[in-house]
Amino acid sequence: MAVTSQQIAELAGVSRGTVDRALHNRGRVNPEVAARILQIAEELGYRPNSIGQALARTRQNIRLGAILQSAETPTMQDIAAEARQAAAELRGSGLEVELREIQGRDTLRVLQQISELMDWGASGLAIASNNTPDLVQRINEISNQGVPVVTFNTDAPDSRRLCFVGMDNYRAGQTAAGLIRQMLPGGGLVLPIAGHVNNGAHINRLRGFLDTLEDTGDIQLLSFQPCFDRDDYAYEITQHALQETPSLACVYITSNGQRGVCQAIEDERKKGRVRVVAYDLNAPNRQLLRSGDLSFVLDQVAYEQGRQPLYILYNYLLNRKMPEGELLYTDTLIRTKYNIGE
């Protein structure tokens, strides 16, 4: 792991600013203190931070903002944790980074946070977005002002955002349909559950699934139900379906709520007979896979969605480096209890 100026500061008993001045010969530092700092840096094998050097050369004051929706869900908590780590790294290099977390899906609150971050002087924004007209218009407005926007986890494809980082949700839905066909070779009844109707990721997973199974005949589908990322709603939906249609063979859930699904199946004494396919290898889903409550999880490598957007914005603003593409899809990994690690 690279040695940081903060580590040198702690060992030398001085501030990080003093270390920066000593290492880069900027400003006055007591000669004895400077000598001690340089000796510690040499012993630790310190290498100057390339981001910090670039900022110093260009004398840019870069401010990055990130807005996360559905912050209460396990997957977004994983994304937020990685975003905090990336923010800490970038702050250590001289950038200013502000993270904002929103409970649930709320376009008005996203718009409010965008306005606050723009007033703060944001140079670039990373947004877990919606494709709603108001949000698309706002992204277009700030993009026209020269402030790039990277969407992540959920996209705003109709906007002029710089790029999107996240799962190819339509293909993930197709993958889920293929898995369920393999699990139910003789056919069966499947209940699809989505999260929020304004969450493009959830809906695209549902569309890919439904389109792939359309007119297959062997797999029959109940009408999809929204659970709004809530376990209690998912529980009620699943319990009602099990009581009304005892032949239910599988539940496909595109969002958070899988714990409620699994609990309803257990309470109705159908565990082992009703399969469940869900998304994201977060801590609750690891446990549900190990216990056999979940059959498969489609993992979208969530941590990349916390890390990549901030670094894409940094590279674009500081080095004018364009992202590798407009759609930067993370891997879609099929997880079972046998390949989730310890």
In tens, the pLDDT along 213-222 reads 987 778 999 9
Domain 63-166+302-330 has CATH 1.20.140.10: no
Question: Which of 3.40.50.300, 3.40.640.10, 1.10.260.40, 3.40.50.1970 is the CATH number of 5-48?
Answer: 1.10.260.40
Query: Which are the contacts of 144, defined by CB distance < 8 A and separation ≥ 6?
Result: 160
Same fold, 63-166+302-330 and 169-299: yes
Q: Which of 108, 68, 107 is nearest to 306 (CA)?
A: 68
The residue extents of the domains of the chain are: 5-48, 63-166+302-330, 169-299
- Quote the mean pLDDT of the chain: 91
At 158 the pLDDT is 96
Q: What gap in Å lies between CA 230 and CA 257, rounded to an integer?
A: 5
CATH code given to domain 169-299: 3.40.50.2300
Q: What gap in Å lies between CA 259 and CA 195, rounded to an integer?
A: 13
> How would residue 255 be classed by pLDDT, with cut points 50, 70 and 90?
very high
End-to-end CA distance of the chain: 24
> How would residue 32 be classed by pLDDT, with cut points 50, 70 and 90?
confident
At 58 the pLDDT is 45
Paired tokens of 76: 């977004």
At 57 the pLDDT is 44
At 42 the pLDDT is 77
CA distances from 215 to 154, 198, 266 (A): 29, 26, 31
pLDDT tens profile 154-175:
999 999 999 999 999 999 999 9
Rounded to 5°, angle at Cα 282 from 97 and 213? 115
Higher pLDDT, 234 or 88: 234
- CB contact at 8 A, 337 and 292: yes
pLDDT tens profile 90-106:
887 788 999 999 999 99
At 118 the pLDDT is 97
